[in-house]
Structure formats: structure tokens, C-alpha cells
DNA sequence: CCGCTAGGTCTGTATTTCGGACCCAGGGTA
DNA sequence: TACCCTGGGTCCGAAATACAGACCTAGCGG
């Protein structure tokens, strides 16, 4: 029977969420991106502020560079040695909504009575910035009004799950 | 000197992004939340679809329950054994924008020429759903127009970094 | 009371992370 | 020229995690 398409008929790993998490879904990558957004660009500064070991920092930065989220630049300040620095690419900057959403959630659910440890301000108006669901047609979108529809392109790549369910 | 407050003067771990990632910032938690959003609620179904080992699934579910993102419910279908199932709490559902943002990024940067493996549809209008930065005053917010301002409450809890920079 | 099944726990191995020692290159400076 | 300093790493052994898969258990139908 060709019943309605089920989410579980599709390979988890094909999903864009899974594929994105393969690049940034570890303990450190998103924190590094956060610091890169906030103007921390040098190896030792990242290490000191984020609190990651040198070893892991090297690997993560290499991974982010491979993934095209970060670029390594050599630069030199007049009269000093050449240095390396790390900067977000356009693709890296496109992850901003993920970070803002994580921050908004933490501000709402983890700060208790205190003021949140930092705020994102809309330059100009001064209002707090968060993220909101938005639809192409610019309607306001409530949480409930979202439906996930797996498409054919995912089905084709399905392996493990389709075999098990057959 | 009381120079302008620097991002690096604040303890990384106090940040709402870091604190949120302590709950969901590992390889599996967000994938589990994704499946819970999509109607997968039983232990074995989660294990099979997400592809996580039983061991780790047990630990992650326990962590998510501890964190208040997920609740465990015992239920029974007429004439069958009692079963356990896992459901998002309100706090868990509030992470939806994080997942949508990850998915939107993947759709944009990882799908190449093919159609994305799934789409989020706005029930009713049928348009695609993504996330957008939004400010309190409902202005449209461009990426650039966001400024991070650490607040005093973060400073107070600062430890490692303030000692090093003094 | 036997077998089946969902939901786990246990175990041994493989991988990752951690902290810290070490290394290297390229300036300044003497 | 030799030496020192510093940023940006690599290397190492110990500890923590993840993994696959075997095993356990509660309850229902037969």
C-alpha cells in the first residue's frame, strides 16, 4: 500500500538538520562561531575565552574551514610577526539565526529571575532581537501551524530505515 | 580604566548560548528533539530512526527529561502492555526555532542542486517556513544591525577571564 | 508457563577529549 | 649573531564517552 508518506520512512541522516549538525553539532563548534561573531578571531583568544583545549581547537577550526564556514587569514600588524586569524564566511554568518535562537531560548528558560547575561540590540531602534518563524508569504506563523513534508529526494537516498520497515 | 565592556570580559559559560548548549549541544539531543517534533515518541522508534545506540539514547532521554525539555509518559493501548513514550514539554517545543534555523541553513548550503529532503509548510497558506531575525518593535532586522551587549549580571559571575585580563 | 516484545542495562572496545609539555617561526633587541 | 618572547600550533598519556551487541525484565496472549 502506498500510504501517506511517513517521517520515519526517511533516512535521518539525509535531513538538513542532521547534515547541518554534522558540521556544527558538537560541543564546541557553535561556541566558536559565537565568538567569531563577537569579534574574537585569534587562536589563543578563542582558546582562552571559549575554554577549549588547543588540540580540539585546532581540529574544530580545521573542520569549520573545511565546511566553508570559517576562513583562515594570515595578516600582520606593522612591525610584528605574521599572525593567523579566523573569520566567518558568508555561509558561517548565515548561521546567526541558530545562535540567536539558542540565546533566546536560554534567556527565556535558564536565567531564572536575573537579567539575561547579554542582550542583542537592534541597532537604531534599540529593541531586543530574537528570531521568529516566518513564512514566504509573510504571514505570522504559530508553532502549531508548521507541517513537515518529506520530499522524494530524501526517499531515494533512504537506506537503513526502508530496509527495516519492509 | 573603565573602557567599553568587552565580550571577552565575560565568562563564556554564563552566556545563554553556552548554557543552552549544555543541555542540547551534543551529537544526538537535537536530532532526538527533531524526531519528537515529528511524532516519534517510542524508545525503539527513536533508536531506529535517529540511529543512536540504546545506551546513549537512555542517557540523552534522561538528560532531556532532567532539563525539562521532555517528559516520559506511561501509557497503554487497550489489551496491550503498558509502554513508555517521550513527549516534548512546552520548553522543549520552544526550541523549534533552533531546529528550523538549522534546517533552513542546511537547505540553503548543503543541498546543492537537488530539492531539499523535506520542507516545512505553513498550514493554510502552504508557503515554506523559515526563521527570521525580529526585533521587539517588529522592524525587519538585517544581519548587520544586531549588536551584542553583555550586561552586568554576566560580569558578576565572571571568573577565569577576568582574572587573566587583570 | 512459554514466548514475544518494548524498553532498558551491562560489557568490552574504540574513539574523543583533556591538560599539559613541547615545538617552531619570526620578529626585536643587544 | 645569539637570544628571548609570543602566537600558533603538535604530541602525549590519562580519563571520559560512544559504540555494537549481548543480556535482562515485565506483562500480555495463547
A51-90 residues touching B, CB cutoff 8 A = 51, 68
B108-138 confidence digits (pLDDT tens)? 999 988 888 899 999 989 999 999 999 988 8
The answer to whether residues B41 and B99 belong to one domain is no
Å from the A134 CA to the D16 C1': 41
The answer to whether residues B73 and B111 belong to one domain is no
Query: Among all strands, which nt has the closest C1' to A83 (CA)?
Result: D7
Tell me how far apart the alpha carbons of residues A146 and B128 are, in angstroms, rounded to a whole number: 9
3-state secondary structure (DSSP) of residue B76: strand
Residues 6+ apart with CB under 8 A from B18: A31, A34, B12
CATH code of the domain covering residue A42? 1.10.10.10
Q: Does residue A1 form part of some domain?
A: no
Domain limits for position A105: 95-148
Q: Comparing C-alpha atoms, which of B127, B124, B119 is closest to residue B103?
A: B119
Please report the ipTM that was assigned to this predicted complex. 0.91
The answer to whether residues A106 and A124 belong to one domain is yes
Instruction: Identify the DSSP state of B8.
Output: G
DSSP per-residue codes, A79-144: TS-EEEEEEE-HHHHTTHHHHHHHHHHHHHHT-TTSPPSEEEEETTT-PBEEEEEEETT--B--GG
Q: Does residue A144 form part of some domain?
A: yes
What is residue B40's predicted lDDT score, i.e. its pLDDT? 96
The answer to whether residues B30 and B75 belong to one domain is yes
| Contacts with A20 from chain B: Cβ below 8 Å | 102-103, 105-106, 109-110
Q: Does residue B51 form part of some domain?
A: yes
Tell me how far apart the alpha carbons of residues B162 and B166 are, in angstroms, rounded to a whole number: 6
Percent of chain B with pLDDT over 70: 90
The answer to whether residues B67 and B101 belong to one domain is no
The answer to whether some atom of strand C lies closer than 7 Å to the beta carbon of B84 is yes
Q: Does residue A129 form part of some domain?
A: yes
The answer to whether residues B75 and B23 belong to one domain is yes
Q: Does residue B85 form part of some domain?
A: yes
Domain closes at, from A89, A114, A132: A89
Query: Which cell goes with B84?
Result: 513508555
Confidence of residue A155 (pLDDT cuts 50, 70, 90): low
Q: Does residue A162 form part of some domain?
A: no
- Min Cα distance B74 → chain A (Å) is 22
The answer to whether residues A24 and A57 belong to one domain is yes
The answer to whether some atom of strand C lies closer than 7 Å to the beta carbon of A55 is yes
CA-to-CA separations, A97 to A80, A151, B34, B99, in angstroms, rounded: 37, 24, 17, 10
Q: Find and list the nucleotides of strand D having atoms within 7 Å of a protein beta carbon.
A: 6-12, 18-22, 26-29
Cβ(A74)–Cβ(A84) under 8 Å? yes
Q: Does residue B27 form part of some domain?
A: yes
The answer to whether residues A28 and A80 belong to one domain is yes
Confidence of residue A72 (pLDDT cuts 50, 70, 90): very high
The answer to whether residues B138 and B82 belong to one domain is no
**Cross-chain residue pair A118–B148, CB shorter than 8 Å:** yes
The answer to whether residues A39 and A84 belong to one domain is yes
Tell me how far apart the alpha carbons of residues B44 and A98 are, in angstroms, rounded to a whole number: 29
The answer to whether residues A38 and A107 belong to one domain is no
Tell me how far apart the alpha carbons of residues A25 and B89 are, in angstroms, rounded to a whole number: 22
**Cross-chain residue pair B118–A154, CB shorter than 8 Å:** yes
Q: Comparing C-alpha atoms, which of B41, B164, B148, B56 is closest to residue B92?
A: B41
| Total domains present in chain B | 2
The answer to whether residues A115 and A65 belong to one domain is no
| Contacts with B143 from chain A: Cβ below 8 Å | 93, 96
Q: How far is CA A115 from the centre of its chain?
A: 25
Q: Does residue A121 form part of some domain?
A: yes
Amino acid at each position: 500500500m502506498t500510504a501517506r508518506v511517513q517521517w520515519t520512512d526517511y533516512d535521518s541522516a539525509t535531513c538538513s538538520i542532521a547534515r547541518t549538525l554534522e558540521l556544527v553539532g558538537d560541543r564546541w563548534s557553535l561556541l566558536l562561531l559565537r565568538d567569531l561573531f563577537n569579534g574574537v578571531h585569534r587562536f589563543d583568544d578563542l582558546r582562552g575565552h571559549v575554554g577549549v583545549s588547543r588540540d580540539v581547537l585546532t581540529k574544530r577550526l580545521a573542520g569549520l574551514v573545511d565546511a566553508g564556514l570559517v576562513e583562515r587569514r594570515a595578516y600582520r600588524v606593522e612591525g610584528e610577526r605574521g599572525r593567523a586569524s579566523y573569520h566567518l564566511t558568508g555561509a558561517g554568518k548565515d548561521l546567526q539565526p541558530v545562535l540567536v535562537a539558542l540565546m533566546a531560548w536560554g534567556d527565556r528558560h535558564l536565567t531564572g529571575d536575573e537579567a539575561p547575561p547579554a542582550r542583542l540590540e537592534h541597532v537604531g531602534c534599540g529593541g531586543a532581537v530574537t528570531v521568529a518563524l516566518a513564512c514566504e508569504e509573510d504571514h505570522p506563523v504559530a508553532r502549531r501551524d508548521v507541517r513537515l513534508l518529506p520530499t522524494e529526494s530524501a526517499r531515494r537516498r533512504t537506506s537503513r530505515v526502508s530496509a527495516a520497515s519492509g
